[in-house]
Structure 1
Amino acid sequence: MSFRPLRSLLAALIVSGLSTAAQADDLIIGYQTGIDPTKVAQFDGTYDKALGQKIDWRRFNSGAEVVTAIASGDVQIGNLGSSPLAAASRGLPIVTFIVAAQINAAEALVVRNGSGINGPQDLIGKTIATPFVSTSHYSLLGALKHWQVEPSKVKIVNLNPSEISAAWARGNIDGAFVWSPALGAIKQNGTVLTDAAEVGTWGAPTFEVWVARKDFAEKHPELLSKFAQVSLDAFADYAANKDSWTADSEPVQKIAKLTGADPNDVPELLAGSAFPDAKQQAELLGGKTAKDIAATAVFLKEQGKADSVLSDYSPYVSDAYIQ
């Protein structure tokens, strides 16, 4: 259960990846299956229209996979969470240019009904799955710390969301901290023990961001600004019309098709995150996000998942593209 393989991989990939200049006419963007309003814009091709080119969208199972793809030069823009961001920032030349979501109930620890887990102490000796180096992994560690349960006393296994769904169906795991669509599936015969919102109040908040390779950002700042604007428009559309985003509504159906989530779960999952508007983005990217990344890195170091912490993470965050 170590973050060292990610760091070793980064060291090797950065050497080979930095020499490759990203081309705007070959734009590859890595996304994940988290539920958020921008999935509608992605489904409709709104990003492609705004940027004036065809985007090659690549789906990834975890932030760690996105980091690897960015480090290798295969992806120019990617979506990842605060935990893999903190783990990768030390060596990877990236810039965070928009906060995609502040995670609340959209990620949760669900325990199987009948597993005998009725409270935190019952987790000892049980098998709990989560994607390693993810926001859910970070939240799980934060919850265990709050509950004063040693992680070594819980069998924590590394599974991506689709693997969690399969392992749950087979009865191989007792619980999982994960996001959708796996979250919606395991909730059907499981109980939520805690979620990212509650863990955040215990001192371990999590969030999702969009990052870009710095070489690409410096060469194509206008593309990042257009990408950010489409995202902000999607957030605004949801904020203004969220009551109409029901399971059978067109936006929710599009999100479900793109992510594989059950449409009936999507409205609740959307409500489980906050999507910052332009003013809030300026505040977050102007300083708070860098501080939150630093706090995440400190926690990871305390947990033995990071070797060191930088004194300043602001070089990895910019508000220039949302002005």
Structure 2
Amino acid sequence: MKRTVAALLTAATVTSLAACSLDSQTQSDDTVTVVIGYQSKTINTVTAGTLLKAKGFLEKRLDDLTKSSDVKYDVQWQDYDTGAPITAQMVAEKIDIGSMGDYPLLINGSKTQANERARTELVSITGYSPTGALNMVVVPPDSPARSITDLKGQKVSASVGSAGHGTLVRALDNAGIDPKTGVEVLNQQPQVGASALESGQAQALSQFVAWPGLLVFQDKAKLLYDGAEGDYPTFHGVVVRRDYAGQHPEVLDAFLQAQLDATEFLNDNPLESAKLVADGSGLPQEVVYLYNGPGGTSFDTTLKPSLIEAFKGDVPYLKSIGDFADLDVNGFVNPDPIQKAFADRGQDYDAALQSTTNPSALRGQDPVCNAPVTDAKLAGELWIDGRDATQPSANPDCLLRAIREATAAGDTIRAAYVPDTEFGTRWFADKSTWVRDGQRHLPFDTAAGAGRYTAAHPGATIVDYQQALAGAV
């Protein structure tokens, strides 16, 4: 596996060097080039990537600088499937600013620190989950596996060095399975892994968003393991080459201001944002909205202490997959630029830093149960085709009633979302495992979760989705 990671980074570097002929520092005496590495399909980075690009916030900020300085700025966007090639490009000094998940960020900091011109620092967060719900493990729809322990001795597809692979390693370790010998990891890009799962080459796939949700939405997989079961924070963030930031501090400031613009836009306009991200990534809008909608990923740029402490706890992962240099996390994390961006906007960074609530939450009045939507742990959301807005539901039974009534009225349901009863992870209602406990119906995103509940609650029974729809009162 160590040789695989080294080969992956080397191959990515060679490819990147061949593909990029411009020096990323300056294009001419009066034009400054900034090269942005992003992952269009990693939708927890959209405020520093797909959505940011679609809205043109960075270009607008830089245009304002041009008006006052006559210096022109050329923004170049480079799209990748994972964080590894972005890191390779930054090592080669060909990407200036990049975004990726927590485990790839570790590798980024470790690989770039030997060269002062390539050396990077973590300057902001894009999205995070306090429980680790951003990464998941899925299996084929007919798989007999019910928990992570059932993968022992099996082939699991993962992009080695990615956030999805890091979650697999942690999940196996928590289950008492040696990550190095307990499973055979097939080091594959997400698309390749999805094909391997469908063909039977792999018995499971561990990936970052949006791949688990996409495969489940397409009925090509079912959820086996929710990263929230590990109850360990995961996040995605932004890195910049220190040398570039030192030469062009105004570009980094403009980028972070633009990221704040995109973050505010997403939290204020989640449905419109999902459409823009879907258009830019090729992902179904329903899948994008699963993660980018209210109650999904927490889009918050601040470098929270809880995330940084979790990041430090991830450092041993470097040693487990390759010969990487130790990373001083405290020296890698630099909150000064994002603090300045907040101050320039007249916003309170410390207040945002201390907040642990998701900036985007379901609100409004449930029209079916005629009740206000107040509890995020229960609130669901119905998306009816042809409508400009979604419909909130106060609790799972109200959502089931809303789906039943809409279907009876001849409406087409695009998607319905509901929080998992055990961990609160936002998931598809029709892909959930439902439990009837008295008059209540409780959704679980995994069969294992439903099993844990019924084992602890005598009288509670597992029902299928249609039974849940029919029984909701």
Normalization by structure 1: what TM-score?
0.83
Higher relative contact order (CA 8 A, sep 6+): 1
> What residue number does 2:103 align with?
83
Match status 1:316 vs 2:347 = no
> What residue number does 1:51 align with?
62
> What residue number does 2:430 align with?
none
Match status 1:274 vs 2:303 = no
Ranges in structure 1 where 5+ consecutive residues have no aligned partner: none
Q: Distance in 2 between matches of 1:107 and 1:259?
A: 18
Percent of residue pairs identical: 23
Report the structure, 1 or 2, having the larger strand content: 2
Cα 1:307–1:72 change in 2 (3 A) is: closer
* 1:32-67 C-alpha deviation (Å, 9 max, x unpaired): 121145232311222222123342111111111111
Normalization by structure 2: what TM-score?
0.58
Deviation at 1:316, TM superposition (A): 1.5
* 1:173-221 C-alpha deviation (Å, 9 max, x unpaired): 221111344323321232212233332x1x4x32111111111011111
> What residue number does 1:185 align with?
214
* 1:109-166 C-alpha deviation (Å, 9 max, x unpaired): 1111222212222101222111110111111100000111122121211111221233
Instruction: Please say if residues 298 and 309 of structure 1, whose CA atoms lie closer than 8 Å, have aligned partners that are also in contact.
Output: no
Match status 1:170 vs 2:177 = no
Aligned residue for 1:90, secondary structure, equals helix
Aligned alpha-carbon RMSD (Å): 2.7
Deviation at 1:9, TM superposition (A): 4.4
Task: Tell me which amino acid in the other structure corresponds to 1:252.
Answer: A
Match status 1:215 vs 2:243 = yes
**Corresponding residue to 2:42 among 34, 48, 64:** 34
Q: Who wins on radius of gyration, i.e. which is larger?
A: 2
> What residue number does 1:94 align with?
120
Aligned residue for 2:32, secondary structure, equals helix
Aligned residue for 2:238, secondary structure, equals strand
Report the structure, 1 or 2, having the larger helix content: 1
Q: Distance in 1 between matches of 2:211 and 2:175?
A: 25
How many residues get paired? 301
Q: Distance in 2 between matches of 1:48 and 1:63?
A: 23
Q: Which moved more, 1:35-44 or 1:127-136?
A: 35-44
**Corresponding residue to 1:296 among 299, 314, 339:** 314
> Counterparts in 2 of 1:8-157, with a 5 A limit?
9=10, 22-23=25-26, 25-32=32-39, 33-36=41-44, 37-38=46-47, 39-52=50-63, 53-92=73-112, 93-103=119-129, 104-151=132-179, 152-157=181-186
> What residue number does 1:160 align with?
189
Instruction: Please say if residues 89 and 316 of structure 1, whose CA atoms lie closer than 8 Å, have aligned partners that are also in contact.
Output: yes
Task: Tell me which amino acid in the other structure corresponds to 2:187.
Answer: N
